[in-house]
A and B are shown apart, each in its own frame.
Chain A
Amino acid sequence: MLLVFLGLKALLRNPYRSILTSLGIVIGVLSVIVLVSIGLGAKALVLQSIQNLGPNLLVVIPGSVTDSGAQVGGGTDTTLTVEDAQAIREDCPDVWNASGALRTAAQVQSPHANWSTVILGAEPNYLPVRDWHLAHGGFFGPEEEDSAARVAVLGRLVASRLFGLGNPVGNFIQINHSPFRVIGLLSSKGQSPMGMNQDDMVVIPLSTLQSQIMGVTYVGVILAAAGSPERVDDAKREIRDLLRLRHHIPPGGRPDFDIQALSDIAKTANRLSLILTVLLALIASISLFVGGIGILNIMLVSVRERTREIGIRMAIGARPRDILLQFLTESAALSFFGGLAGGLLGILSILAIRSFLGWPAPIPWEGSLLTVVGATFLGILFGLYPAWRASRLDPMEALRYE
């Protein structure tokens, strides 16, 4: 304990050098903590946007799949129909609800403005499948779907572009010069994991889009919601079996559709952001390592510079291990206090990133603790060699050292 105190005292005798030496560790720990936090923030963002889409959601897209699982020209085939969607809805016990959907781009006009956006044709049960809600008005039902009615539900962004901040319900818009009555306003949903703004969209009955705007009979995608997150895998298998039957795919044959579970995408995204986080932490660890080398360097200089002091201490009875411990304490203290300062600065930086950049960066408490402990360990490791050299000095030669 006394010798530990001795080591600390030596550091205080040279405060500027001590601060500069531990700066490397400070920056190393700081960058590890901040980068890990940013990585975790990215992960949270991705998961949050996937959660937005609905964790139970299965997406059936047309197109063939190669042996390796890579999709060729996915989403462009025209093999899926409303009947497929209906069959899925009715014949798959683990599917709670399903809706076919088709999209196109179009110009939308109000009396005051026009806006180029996405027109989504959907079945009446699209909203519950997507776990989406209305802010105002209503959604179209089977009647409008069957009669291919010209009604529209606006996304938040489209509504504000066309009608400002007021309630657009009851107004008319024109899509490709045909008038549509606005019957509802969607609540804000934000970005999809693919980076698309889901509020920049107009939803109309699927039949209306197929017959009056696009002149087609297929659907672009079928969205199916499993009864619960645990039933996603069963639902996926049921849909696959059903569609293989309906599309006359022989056993072993390549299906003309693909089913993606959002939970799978979430897993992949999760794994990717974990890799990103580890990568960032590794890069930051390099600076921590360089900080450790800085300690090694300064301790070697310090041992050389204080050779005579070491000689004196040995002459008056310091054992080799007393000298070893003294210098080891110095490097451990440099890295520990440097690590502590880096940890505090790191947490402050994360708070700053959160409030100024709005990035959802969590404070990695356990990671921070681990980093500070690791930095201290690193300091001891790099201090070992200089301390060992100090302890092995010959007292007589050390005393004569100029």
Chain B
Amino acid sequence: MQEDDRPGLSVRLDSVTKIYVVSGEELPAIRGITLSIDRGEALAVVGSSGSGKSTLLHLSGLLDRPTTGAVFYGDRRVDHLPASDRAVLRNRSVGFVFQNFQLIPRTTAIENVEMPLLYRGVSSRERRERARDLLASVGMGDRERHYSSQLSGGQQQRVAIARALAASPGLLLADEPTGNLDSRSASSVLELLLSIQERSRMTLVLVTHDTEVARFATRTVRVRDGLLEGS
């Protein structure tokens, strides 16, 4: 993993709510959360399923927009930006790691890792070099040409982590990254994530229902029924 001297991104959620409307019925997922995530911090967000912790992560990563409240990257309000600007921000500042890996089907490992750089307009040679380095750094250097269907869960998650790091983001968001893995691959993926965070000093938000996992974080917040507990 190459060192990135770009400082991590600080994120602030200012009394955000998220209410989903499903067939005319309002389902509040987040009922009002204010949270500051410092740069370079490794924050664990824990809570049972349905507590709203994943929604919190998606709001932080601009995949979703809050119903009310605001999201700040540093001092810049970002939640109200148009879809296209949010896409550019996601591309440059945020890396996502999902529970179910979300690799693109029928696409090789290296193509997946190259993809964020593609949307950034990086030249193909540079893309290939960077993707190769990243795959090597997550221990997947020998499986560049494998399709996602030919990889185990742990391997897929390593590729997904390499992809999340491709654009050298300031913020790495991991949503139950070990949730679909057996305990051995889970701990190695977790170690990988934490070692990357430690070295690159990027901000890491780790959503998990597993309090064991949360122990590795520098700080832990607990979400329950769409609210932060004890804060």
Contact = CB atoms under 8 A, between A and B. Distances in A.
Interface in A356-402: 394-396, 399
Interface residues of B, number: 29
A399 B92 contact: no
B105 A316 contact: no
Nearest to B175: A399
Interface in A289-340: 308-309, 311-322
A13 B106 contact: yes
A320 B120 CA distance: 14
A322 B58 CA distance: 21
Contacts of A6: 118
Contact of B83 (A311, A315, A319): A319
B225 to A, nearest CB: 20
B88 A316 contact: no
Contact of A317 (B88, B105, B124): B88
B111 to A, nearest CB: 9
Interface in A122-163: none
Given A322-B119, A395-B63, A396-B64, A317 B104 contact: no
B119 A309 contact: no
A13 B149 CA distance: 14
Contacts of B88: 317, 319
Interface in A1-15: 2, 6, 13
Interface string B100-123: 001111110000000110111100
Q: Is the interface of A mostly helix, strand, loop or mixed?
A: helix
Contacts of B121: 2
Contact of A318 (B102, B119, B164): B119
B118 A320 contact: no
A314 B102 CA distance: 12
Given A309-B105, A319-B119, A396 B58 contact: yes
Nearest to A6: B118
Contacts of A320: 83-84, 87
B167 interface: yes
A315 B89 CA distance: 10
B157 interface: no
Contacts of A315: 61, 63, 90, 96, 102
B115 to A, nearest CB: 6
B128 to A, nearest CB: 13
A319 B96 CA distance: 16
Nearest to A312: B102
A287 B90 CA distance: 44
Contacts of B107: 13
B102 to A, nearest CB: 5
Contacts of A311: 102
Given A316-B91, A316-B119, A321-B84, A308 B102 contact: yes
B87 A399 contact: no
Interface string A174-197: 000000000000000000000000
Nearest to B64: A396
Contact of A316 (B64, B83, B106, B115): B115
Q: Which of A6, A13, A396 has the most CB of B within 10 A?
A: A396
Contacts of B163: 316
Contacts of A13: 106-107
A9 to B, nearest CB: 9
B84 to A, nearest CB: 5
A6 B111 CA distance: 11
A3 to B, nearest CB: 8
Q: Which of B64, B115, B118, B167 has the most CB of A within 10 A?
A: B118
Interface string B150-178: 00000000000001100100000000000
27 contacts: A2-B118, A13-B106, A13-B107, A308-B102, A309-B105, A311-B102, A312-B102, A312-B104, A313-B104, A313-B119, A314-B87, A314-B90, A315-B63, A315-B90, A316-B116, A316-B164, A317-B90, A317-B116, A317-B120, A318-B91, A318-B119, A319-B83, A319-B119, A320-B84, A322-B119, A395-B63, A396-B63
Given A316-B119, A316-B163, A321-B84, 12 more contacts: A309-B105, A313-B119, A314-B87, A315-B102, A316-B90, A316-B167, A317-B119, A318-B91, A319-B88, A394-B64, A396-B58, A399-B98
